[in-house]
Chains A and B, each alone.
Chain A
Amino acid sequence: MASKIIIIDYGLGNLLSISNMLNYLNIEHIITNNPKEIENAHKLIIPGVGSFDTAIYLLKKNKIFNSIMKAFEANVIILGICLGMQIFYEKSDEGNFNGLGILKGKIVKFKKNKNLIIPHIGWNSINSNTISEFNLKNKKFYFLHSYHPEITIKHHFDSVKYSYNFPAVIKYNNVFGVQFHPEKSGENGMQFFKEFNLL
């Protein structure tokens, strides 16, 4: 039986969009900012629309920062969406605060080339299939971001190309992250959450 999912409400992010999609798929979940509940979750989703430092500030203010670390150490399956994934890293070019540091490396701004339009906004296809938990290759998802994880060899990733390939999906032990917004990616997003529910 699939276990109950907690969507973390730390003050940033389109929580209700994620909740709406899970409701539509009949996937049981709750929304909470309670640190104890988060530590004891079976699965966590960390949403994120916002800036890096604001996210870290709010996670600490709401005493959720350490709860996520405890959940990670307790092997809870954690999914970070967009900014919610970026905070897994040690640092970000977007801000000054330290991230959770679960993943080594940092979040970097898109490398400029003369004609590249930044932010990367729109629908783009995943072009590899390393992370076997999800069936994402050649599927289009909605992206909305100016920063992305740097490529490191420390963890698995699947990529998307915008000027160059960068990690769009990452996996490290019990942690998963997506740079795109599955909750806004129509049927492909639904399929993604169905697969997440089965983990």
Chain B
Amino acid sequence: MTFSPRIIPSLLINRDKLIKTKKFTDERYVGDILNAVKIFNDKKVDELLIIDKSIKTLNDGPNFDLIKNLSSEVFIPLTYGGGIRNIDEAYRLFKAGIEKISIQKTFFDRFENLRNFVKNFGSSSILLSIDIIIKNNIYLIFDSKTKKTLDLNINDTINKAIDCGVGEILVNIVNLDGTLKGPDLNIINHIPKVNIPIIYQGGINSVNDIIAVLKNGFHSVAIGSLFIFYGKYNSVLISYINETERLTINKNFTINV
């Protein structure tokens, strides 16, 4: 019996709009988020990751009405991140139909916050997302809000998060965001070897890229542009891996359980 890695479409939103960035800037409007989510539901994706990066959300907390609307349209697992400031907001998100929450800033502000989330919701519902920027071959943690690097060691931060009980970690490479240039396989040497799921995101452009990332030591992949755009003019076309591609991935990489 084998256990398949998850292939997770990763969607960025600003208010109720689906957007896509390049290297965390150049925000481009892609379409209606509700419509996109419905299409991914029809394509039976493994999971869907939705991150709200709007300023309003960061100041006022998650857009619960939108999240309720989104979750009422789908029968697939949803992870939500963006502006989650406290336990009460997390309760409301789960109630609205979210299975996992992705946190970042609230953890970097105070590591112990994570422990509190885990105490209430269990490890498996809490994902920590870390944005990593590569500068002169040095890997640094990036704060997408201030656009500055944080004075935190990647190894220490991940180990600390695991110590606080986080269930899963997403590593997103800022330099490769929206580029479709292929993944950074060197990142694996800059993060500790752990036994919780680690998801890779950044630059993936093909099934071969997915396989390379998984063989490299990641347990799942999150993918933006490849599942949103199509062709050399980057026309908007929502897509997902098909059955043949799934088989190819599973043939080349399985988690032995």
Contact = CB atoms under 8 A, between A and B. Distances in A.
B150 interface: no
B77 A142 contact: yes
Given A125-B1, A163-B257, A16 B71 contact: yes
Interface string A113-136: 001111111111101000000000
B92 to A, nearest CB: 11
A184 B98 contact: no
B110 interface: no
Contacts of B124: 119-121, 144-146
B52 interface: no
Contacts of B125: 49-50, 144
Interface in B72-112: 72, 75-78, 91, 94-100
B257 A161 contact: yes
A12 B75 contact: no
Contacts of A115: 195, 256
Given A49-B99, A115-B256, A161-B1, A185 B122 contact: no
Interface in B185-242: 195-197, 219-220
Given A51-B122, A142-B77, A144-B99, A122 B46 contact: yes
Contact of A50 (B121, B196, B255): B121
A50 B123 CA distance: 8
A50 B94 contact: yes
Contacts of B72: 16, 20
B77 A94 contact: no
B75 A162 contact: no
A13 B72 CA distance: 15
Interface string A95-117: 00000000000000000100111
A54 interface: yes
B4 A94 contact: no
24 contacts: A11-B91, A14-B95, A15-B95, A16-B96, A17-B71, A20-B71, A24-B75, A49-B125, A50-B120, A50-B122, A116-B257, A118-B195, A119-B123, A122-B4, A122-B5, A123-B46, A142-B47, A145-B122, A145-B124, A146-B123, A161-B257, A162-B3, A163-B257, A190-B75
